[in-house]
Structure formats: structure tokens, C-alpha cells
Amino acid sequence: MVSDQIVRRVLKPVIFLGALIPACHLVWAFSTDHLSANPLGDITGDWTLRFLCIALAVTPLRRLTGWNGAIRFRRMLGLFAFFYGALHFLTYLVFDRFATVEFAGNVSWTVSHGIAAAVNDDISKRPFITIGFTAFVLMVPLAATSTAGMIRRLGGRRWRALHRLMYVACVGAVTHYWWLVKVDVRRPIAYATVIALLLTLRVYWARAGAAGGFSTKSSSPLRSLTVRSGRSPNSSCG
């Protein structure tokens, strides 16, 4: 299997830089006026779902291959899912809601209250935005508790229970996409199939562990991510 040094010094930096490419493309497209007709879905939305799927696949990959080093990527991949989810929400605010605000009087007050009112109206009246916003909100505590310090404060059991919200966020995100496109649902179906398969594997292993009388849980979040060089351990997100 891949050594810890290769994971830490080569694979993690390469994956980190590769994960930034879609964001760099979004910045380039915005600055050069090359945005597509649907920047919400083409870049930020799709990549949020992709990173959710990839982060969710880390544990099955580890179990199926026996490569425990895969767990070291989970925190980073989960945080990138949150990062692109936040970009998705920000893109929605800028390109969908900001454009509808009518400026008058105190501009800063008009913008903040106008956008807030428009978002609240969308959330209450458009179901696909309601469930998409809910999925994003569920990802916030996962990102906020992804540090080693928060794992210590919460304790491994409560931390794991909280991070099961990842599963709900995945289902909510793919449902949001499905309800949004309405007609051509091939991409939402593909994401839904991947998420369903990954969640089914987790349910199967949990039931097999319960039936066999042994625990299917991995080692504690802190121990599983401890760096052998003695540095502070990383945590995982999702």
C-alpha cells in the first residue's frame, strides 16, 4: 500500500491543487466574461455533488481495498464539498438574487435587506431551493467541527453521530438537483445511483457487524488520522 510519507507529501498536495481547478475556472470565467448560461449548475453545483460523492466513498474504498491511508483524504474532500456548496450558494446570491434588487436610498441597507427578502421568499415558495438550502445548512456544522479540537470537545461517539448528517445532506443535495432540472434528469440519476450504492454498502456493513456481534466502526476519528511523524492529527469531515 501507499506509504504515509507519499500520502502526506505527494498525494494530498496533488489532490488539493486538483480540487481547486474548478474554482480557478470559475474565477477565470467570471473575470473574462466567459461564464456559461448556468454557472450555478455547471461548476459549483456539480462539483459540490461530486465532492460529496467522493468524500462518501472514502470509507467504502478503505474497507474494500484495506488501504487505511485513504481515511486521510476524507476531511479535505469533505471540506471541498462544503467549499463548493458555499460557492454554489454565493453564486445563487450574486447572479440570481442580487440582480433583482432595486437600489434606492441607503444602498447597503437595500442590498442586504433586499437579498434577504428574496432568499426568504425563494426558500418558502420554491421546494427545490428549500431542500438545497437545507442540505447546505446541514453541511455547516460538519465543516465547523472538522478540526481535531472539536473532535476532542464532542467526543468520538457524539462527533460520529453529528457527522451522519453527511448522509442527509447528500440525499438533500441530489434531490435539490433532481427537482431543479425537472426534464433531463440523467445527471441527477447518476448522482443518486452513486449515493444510493455508497449508503447501501454502509447499511450492509452495519447490519453484518450487528449480526456478527462485532463493531463495524472504524477507530476513533483522532486515532485514524494521527500522523506518524508526531504532528497534530487531522480530522475528517463526513
Mean pLDDT value across the chain: 81
Higher pLDDT, 195 or 207: 195
Rounded Cα distance, 50 and 21, in Å: 13
Region 87-111: mean pLDDT is 62
Higher pLDDT, 66 or 192: 192
What pLDDT, on a 0 to 100 scale, did the predictor assign at position 231?
45
Indicate the pLDDT class of residue 237, thresholds 50, 70 and 90: very low
What is the tens place of the pLDDT at every residue in 35-62? 776 666 667 889 999 999 999 999 999 9
What pLDDT, on a 0 to 100 scale, did the predictor assign at position 107?
41
What pLDDT, on a 0 to 100 scale, did the predictor assign at position 2?
67
Indicate the pLDDT class of residue 90, thresholds 50, 70 and 90: confident
Angstrom CA distances, 103 to 25, 106, 107, 238, stand at: 31, 8, 6, 41
Higher pLDDT, 40 or 152: 152
pTM over 0.85: no
Among 82-91, 114-123, 146-155, 173-182, whose mean pLDDT is lowest? Answer: 114-123
What pLDDT, on a 0 to 100 scale, did the predictor assign at position 143?
95
What pLDDT, on a 0 to 100 scale, did the predictor assign at position 33?
79
Among 107-121, 159-173, 191-205, whose mean pLDDT is lowest? Answer: 107-121
Q: Cell match 497534530: residue?
A: 232
Express as a percent the part of the chain with pLDDT over 70: 76
Measured N-to-C along each axis, helices 186-212 and 46-65 cross at an angle, to the nearest 10 degrees, of 30
- Kindly give the residue spans of alpha helices, DSSP state H, lying in the chain: 4-6, 12-19, 21-31, 39, 46-65, 74-91, 107-125, 127-144, 148-154, 156-162, 165-181, 186-212, 221-224
What pLDDT, on a 0 to 100 scale, did the predictor assign at position 234?
41
Indicate the pLDDT class of residue 177, thresholds 50, 70 and 90: very high
What is the tens place of the pLDDT at every residue in 196-230? 999 999 999 988 877 765 444 555 566 555 543 34
